[in-house]
A = this chain, B = another copy of it.
Amino acid sequence: MMQASATAEQDAPSARQQAVLDAVLGLMVEDGEQVTMDAVARRASCSKETLYKWFGDRDGLLTATVRWQASRVHAGHDAAQVLDGATLRERLQDFAVTWLEVITGPTSVALNRIAIAHAGSRKSNLGGIVLANGRFAIGERVKPVLEAGRAAGLLAFADSEAAFRTFFGLVGRDIQIRLLLGETLDLDGAGIRRDAGRAVEQFLAIYGRAKPDPNHQL
């Protein structure tokens, strides 16, 4: 009579529940529109009754799935201290590569499609969860690096949020919207690294200070 629903509570889902959520992700990737309760139950070899006991309703199941996927995207926070130019480039490049790998992945595309379709109606915003764990999470990880770069005199900007948004735009460009709208553009690892490098260089062309220059104004 226990087994709190994994939706309301923030408990990590059990192993069996994780298997169910992975089944949902699999269905989403195959065809976002056929994520029906019957299909999930069949795919996960569980009964619909169990689905409803664990997740409340279909919305709870989708929410739990989004959370579950988000929980394993998070890479480790690593604090960087003093930066030289090469290290800054490297860190930004890493972020750009990671981000591009995420948004071009089929799971991300499927999940964003679901969340966007859901955002049209009011109920329980998957969009907020996706944003919090995607766009905003990466922002909170990049901004300290940018600020460290500024502290080291390598970058010049007033607002780290604005600077990050520019970085975000330079990295992603039109890739995400094109993928979401169904275009199949294949980026291999080399292409992603090339794209990331270009974005970093362009970012430095805008915000870079030529030399470590300890007179930071604004």
A interface vs B, CB < 8 Å? Answer: 31-33, 110, 112-117, 119-121, 125, 127-128, 130-131, 135, 165-166, 168-174, 176-178, 180-183, 202, 205-206, 218
A110 x B120 contact (CB < 8 A) = yes
A182 x B125 contact (CB < 8 A) = yes
**Stoichiometry, copies per complex:** 2
Residues of B within 8 A of A33 (CB): 117, 120-121
A177 x B31 contact (CB < 8 A) = no
B113 x A119 contact (CB < 8 A) = yes
- CB < 8 Å neighbour of A131 from B116, B173, B178: B178
- CB < 8 Å neighbour of A115 from B125, B135, B173, B181: B181
Cα distance, A169 to B176, chains bound together (Å): 11
Cα distance, A120 to B180, chains bound together (Å): 8
Cα distance, A172 to B166, chains bound together (Å): 9
Cα distance, A116 to B128, chains bound together (Å): 17
Cα distance, A206 to B178, chains bound together (Å): 24
B173 x A166 contact (CB < 8 A) = yes
A174 x B135 contact (CB < 8 A) = yes
B113 x A202 contact (CB < 8 A) = no
B176 x A135 contact (CB < 8 A) = no
A127 x B183 contact (CB < 8 A) = yes
A113 x B117 contact (CB < 8 A) = yes
Closest 3 CB pairs of A and B: A32-B120, A119-B182, A127-B181
Question: Smallest Cβ distance from A21 to chain B, in angstroms?
Answer: 18
Residues of B within 8 A of A112 (CB): 116, 177, 181
Residues of B within 8 A of A202 (CB): 166, 206
The chain B residue with its CB closest to the CB of A168 is B174
Residues of B within 8 A of A178 (CB): 131, 135
B166 x A31 contact (CB < 8 A) = no
A165 x B169 contact (CB < 8 A) = no
- CB < 8 Å neighbour of A166 from B116, B130, B135, B170: B170
Residues of B within 8 A of A115 (CB): 181-182
Cα distance, A174 to B125, chains bound together (Å): 18
A128 x B173 contact (CB < 8 A) = no
